[in-house]
Amino acid sequence: MATSAQTERIHKALDTFVIELPSWGFANTGTRFGKFIQASAATTTEEKLADAGQVHHFTGCCPSVATHVLWDFPEGLKSTSSVMASAKKAGVRIGSINPNVFQDQIYKYGSLGNPDREIRKTALQHILDCVEIGKQTGSHDVSPWFADGSSFPGTASIRQRKKWFEEGLREVHSHLLPQQRLLVEYKPFEPYSYHMDLGDWGMALILSRHAGPQARVLVDTGHHYQAQNIEQIVAWLLSEDMLGGFHFNDRRYADDDLTLGSIDPYQVFRIFNEIIGYERETGERADIAYMIDQSHNLKDKVEEMIQTAMVAQEIYSKAALVDHEKLTAYQMKSALIDAEECLKSAFATDVRPAIRDWRKSKGLAEEPLQAFRASGYTQRAERERGARNKGAVASYA
């Protein structure tokens, strides 16, 4: 259990720790093999934002919602006023703007890396439209993920595709406002199995630097090979001032998009430790956009969001307890056991009472998940949305 001094440190850490919610996590989603329909799932952008508002209401740490253009702005720029009004009504704001250059049939062979010049222009224009939506909504980040790649050797020019990406991202960057950022996400495989155009953090770093000074790298915990040292990647990107965003999830095999900390909470702790250590060393808060990006197709969607936010707060609080002065001293002496125990001691601390105290001081429910369940929101959503979701089953079949 945390001491009074540790409790104070936890409260201070939680005061500034915010997490963005993904709008798409509240809608019916599935696997490659089909959807699993939930009667309470959101069927409109307004309902997604309303669900997100519930998560923020009960956790107090999720004030913004990442949106996916096409899914959340069906009329593009014409949709911004209504979407912003829905967000305000729900008690949240619009966060990162995520382009969609992977869903349409024209992107079978890529978007910014497509050999067809007209398709590259179409993809670029869509991303530029997303930049404009970000300007209207006051969003800090435009966060593209690219599915571009190839599945067979010799079928694509890897060097030429890199050049096309450089040109496209430079053009996107030139349209940013001073307060906007371009967050470039990477993935080693899927949907393509031979090469992905942005396959790892180094490729994303190089392309971000080619794009311009407002571009940064976005790290998704699931977008790595098994046993890859993600905290080392985080540390390197921090040292280069190039870490811009982090997508929360967990995985057992690859990009499973499981609940944060459900498989390896110690890895999440080690990542947070690198970030907090960097901030203490430099005396500056890292400009990192934390966001949940998980597949909520088995658990109740709002409940899993709340559960994830609670887990994130718990692990972040543990990382805030690491004594970095002591840890540095042990590292400099190569005191291996002492240094490791310094980390493990913080990780083993029961921070939940301190977090409950923090919630109480903010007028929040001490147990957000229980409070949400008692509110009856899910049951009301099932009654209001059940028929539409039942129709989704029929249309999908």
Domain limits of the chain? Answer: 18-322+365-392
Map tokens 């096309």 to a residue: 164
d(CA 183, CA 134): 13
Burial grade of 3 (CB within 10 A; 0-12, 13-18, 19 or more): exposed
| Mean pLDDT estimate for the chain | 96
Contact 133, 94 (CB under 8 A): no
**44-95 pLDDT, tens digit each:** 999 999 999 999 999 999 999 999 998 999 888 899 999 999 999 999 999 9
Q: What's the average model confidence in pLDDT over 243-269?
A: 96
What pLDDT does residue 1 have?
A: 78
Q: What's the average model confidence in pLDDT over 235-239?
A: 98
Q: What's the average model confidence in pLDDT over 333-338?
A: 98
**169-216 pLDDT, tens digit each:** 999 999 999 999 999 999 999 999 999 999 999 999 999 999 999 999
Write the Ramachandran bin of 151: left for phi over 0, alpha for psi from -120 to 50, otherwise beta: alpha
d(CA 243, CA 245): 6
Q: What pTM does this model have?
A: 0.96
Q: What are phi and psi of 66, to 5 degrees?
A: -75, 135
What's the farthest any 2 CA atoms get from each other in the chain? Answer: 65
d(CA 111, CA 281): 40
The CATH class, in words, for 18-322+365-392 is alpha beta
**338-349 pLDDT, tens digit each:** 999 999 999 999
What pLDDT does residue 64 have?
A: 98
